[in-house]
Amino acid sequence: MTHIPKDHPRYASLITREKIAEGVQMGITSLQGLVAQGRGEAFDYLIGERTIESAAIAERVAVAYLLVAKRPVISVNGNTAALVPGALVSLADITGAKLEVNLFHRSDARIHRIIEHLKAHGAGSVLGSRGDARLDLSHERGIVDKEGIYTADVVLVPLEDGDRCQKLVEMGKIVIAIDLNPLSRTSLSATVTIVDNVTRALENMIHFTKEMKKNSQKQLQEVIDSYDNKKVIADAMYAIQEHLKNLAGREGIEWI
């Protein structure tokens, strides 16, 4: 990994790039994953590279769903495995969710490399290699494990493909998406849309889980019932607009 000085103004963003590039070198992340990361970076820039208030609300609701779920699953792709392997394992541990590898550019070798990578970060068992069930999709993200995503009631899908997100919702599952683009098909179709960088979102969710684990089922249900996903998406768009206005104002550029 290239050395990035800690005082570099874009330190966090550059480290993320290094991790994704390393993921490609390790055969965990696909080349196409680099492009997806680029799109994410652009949206993160627009939102101000911070967790906006409405994203923190969505993260709390996501945790409430994971804690009340009977069969929660966290779906892992090549980007998240490279960026946040330890956080995925920790979140699965404290919420009782299973981890399942699910890839758009699927190969047995890549699935196994990701499973081994998660195990090296402390995971026990990781699903995804069986592929003994199929969602009604024409691409390989439709291949899932019967005891995992196929029968899950709540699925966390960081960096998801819009088709599969819609399909999982159609199947009656609660789908929690983490996606920096508030307008992606994934964001617009998920039950809970977290417009935040996966690197921040997972750390926040781990923190919230530690707090909310003490809550009763009734209290968790109240958090869920008070939630409005459309409002959260609208708020993310507003946050982008306000951030751009502030930047323009700071530079003396008139906002028209």
Which positions lie near ligand ATP, rule CB under 6 A? 36-37, 39-40, 43, 159, 161-162, 178-181, 184-186, 197-198
Cβ-based nearer residue to ligand ATP, 36 or 69: 36
Residue-wise over 192-218: b if at least 16 C-beta within 10 A, else e?
Answer: bbbbbbbbbbbbbbbebbeebeebeee
Nearer Cβ to ligand ATP, position 40 or 148? 40
Residue 181 beta carbon to ligand ATP: minimum distance, rounded to whole angstroms: 4
Beta bridge partners of 156: 74, 176
* Shortest Å distance, C-beta 177 to ligand ATP: 8
Nearest distance from C-beta of residue 18 to ligand ATP, angstroms: 13
Residue showing the smallest CB distance to ligand ATP in the complex: 40
Dihedral sign (CA 247, 253, 255, 256): negative
Minimum CB distance to ligand ATP smaller for 127 or for 202? 202
- Which of 146, 191, 156, 187 has the alpha carbon at shortest distance from 170? 191
**Closest separation in Å from C-beta 24 to ligand ATP:** 14
Q: How far is the CB of 179 from ligand ATP (least distance, A)?
A: 5
Q: How far is the CB of 161 from ligand ATP (least distance, A)?
A: 4
Whichever of 184 and 209 has its CB closer to ligand ATP, that residue is 184
Task: Kindly tell me which of 28 and 220 has the beta carbon lying closer to ligand ATP.
Answer: 28
The smaller minimum CB distance to ligand ATP, of residues 99 and 157, is found at 157
- HEC readout, the chain: CCCCCCCCCCHHHHHHHHHHHHHHHCCCCCHHHHHHHHHHHHHHHHHCCCCCHHHHHHHHHHHHHHHHCCCEEEEECHHHHHHCHHHHHHHHHHHCCEEEECCCCCCHHHHHHHHHHHHHCCCCCCECCCCCEECCCCCHHHEECCCCHHHCCEEEEECCCHHHHHHHHHCCCEEEEECCCCCCHHHHHCCEEECCCHHHHHHHHHHHHHHHCCCCHHHHHHHHHCCCHHHHHHHHHHHHHHHHHHHHHHCCCCCC
Decide whether 61 or 220 has the Cβ nearer to ligand ATP: 61
Shortest Å distance, C-beta 189 to ligand ATP: 8
